[in-house]
Amino acid sequence: MSINWFKYSSPQTFYPLAGKMIPWFAGLATILAIAGLYISFAVAPTDFQQGEAYRIIFVHVPAAWMSMVIYIVMAGWAGLGLALNARLSAMMAQALAPTGAIFTLLALVTGSLWGKPMWGAWWVWDARLTSELILLFLYLGFIALQSSIDDPRRADRAGALLALVGVVNVPIIYFSVKWWNTLHQGSSINMGAAPKMAATMLMGMLLMALAFWMYTVAVALMRVRCIMLERERSADWVKALSTTAGGKS
Amino acid sequence: MSGAWVTVLKRDLLLAFRRRSDVATTLFFFLMVSSLFPLGIGPEPAVLSSIAPGVLWVAALLAGMLSLTRLFAADFADGSLEQMLLAPQPLTLLVTAKVLAHWLVCGLPVVLLAPLIGLQYALPSDALSVLIISLLLGTPALSLIGAIGAALTLGVRGSGLLVALLVLPLYIPVLIFGAGAVAASQHGMSAQAHLSLLAACSLLALVLAPLATAAALRISVE
């Protein structure tokens, strides 16, 4: 028996599937966020050096992780769309970009809120802050390019190429900025080395990261459903939706 | 194959020579932007020489970027770009010829003018020579990376501003290593590490950017 790998690669079949998945991911995001916030604010001990202000890292660090992961995932979808000429992949890339940009902004804002009591400055030209800012520029460039091209097919492919060029450049930018200047504290979680933070703190951070993941998936699916309807508005299955169930999954 | 390459290069240089004022615009832009900073900041030589590497590099980068939209626009408008896409020679190769022509016309004059402005900024002579070398090594990367942006925004509304948004983040490593080389030599350190990294950026761009530019042209023209 052969599996049809491409069954859900067409908007018509993916639209209802996405509709069914959204409540699950949204629910998981809510539960994980409640648990994560409870651990971060009620259970995790006060840091002996940084006091209560350190608790912002429970939002800051997962947001920074997500901002980087989403760019890579977005470029992956974009590359897939370019290689296989699949419409849905390009739509997924387009749907992920705003969420990635928002997480990047969130990481920057929470970082500066943390930086004010810790470093005494809202902003310092440190390597990781600067590369996060550049990542925001890359997201904005992707969104701007896609929205300024009217033909959706060309917009998809041009955006995909830009995302791939960006992904090749991200490590180069990161290391150039890192050598340029650094006074950020060393990262607290290192692969290979034992984490220096308390287990509850790590737990809170990981739960928040998972919550952000689920949120990203739910929101991206919602957005991709809108994009599908907009792009396929003249297709028969979209017209059928509007006449029967009023757009419900 | 090399015949087509030389033909494209000669043609672009000839076209640029016929429109000499375009080249002059780039050069005057570079001159004016870098003359504005002393007016805004003040004439103290110590301050000027400490900001000189960054200012000159940013001005060179902006001057090169402003001329990017011209790289493919005229060929796109009169249809010769389509002929290049249909030509039996690989598009990647023809793109390198066009980028080289762009660099010779817009990049090289800026490199040659830079030491003059460096003098105005009270740069010492050994920093001046590092400035020339760093610009020589780095500006080809700017033209190569910029070509991707120019190709992606071909015929798009507001393409001039859009190119800036797409290309400037990608220019950052070149800017860091280029300005870093000059600053290092000012502080009496060896600029060699920065210059090597700059050359590495240019070589990497030479390998990858024409491929991306060719793909972008095919997307934009089809």
Measured between CB atoms, does A143 come within 8 Å of chain B? Answer: no
For chain B, what percent of residues have pLDDT higher than 70? 100
Residue A163 pLDDT exceeds 90: yes
B156/A148 touch (CB, cutoff 8 Å), yes or no: yes
In angstroms, the CA B201 to CA B180 distance is 14
Nearest CA among B35, B60, B36 for reference residue B178: B60
Whether the complex's predicted ipTM surpasses the cut of 0.90: no
Contact B107, B171 (CB under 8 A): no
* A contacts of B170 (beta carbons < 8 Å): 165-166, 169, 173
What residues does each domain of chain A span?
Answer: 17-44+51-185+213-240
**Could you tell me if A83 lies within 8 Å of chain B, comparing CB atoms?**
no
B66 contacts: CB under 8 Å, gap ≥ 6: B25, B26, B29, B160
Is residue A191 scored above 80 in pLDDT? no
Which of A126, A130, A169 to substitute to test the interface with B, most B CBs within 10 Å? Answer: A169
pLDDT at A184: 43
Residue B131 tokens, joined: 């400035």
Least Cα separation, residue B11 to chain A (angstroms):
28
Sketch the domain layout of chain B as residue ranges.
2-221
**What are the tens digits of pLDDT across the range A100-137?**
999 999 999 998 888 888 777 888 777 778 888 999 99
**Per-position DSSP letters for A129-148, written without gaps between them:** HHHHHHHHHHHHHHHHHHHH
Specify the pLDDT at position A245: 59
Q: Is residue B115 predicted with pLDDT exceeding 80?
A: yes
pTM of the model: 0.86
Q: Residue A174: what are its φ and ψ, rounded to 5°?
A: -60, -50
Over residues B174-205, the pLDDT tens digits come to 999 999 899 888 888 888 888 999 999 999 99
Q: Spell out which residues of chain B touch residue A162, defining contact as CB-CB under 8 Å.
A: 152, 166
**Averaged confidence pLDDT in chain B:** 90
Q: Is A182's pLDDT higher than 50?
A: no
pLDDT at A100: 95
What does the block give as tokens for A219?
A: 């929101």
Evaluate if residue A215 carries a pLDDT over 60.
yes
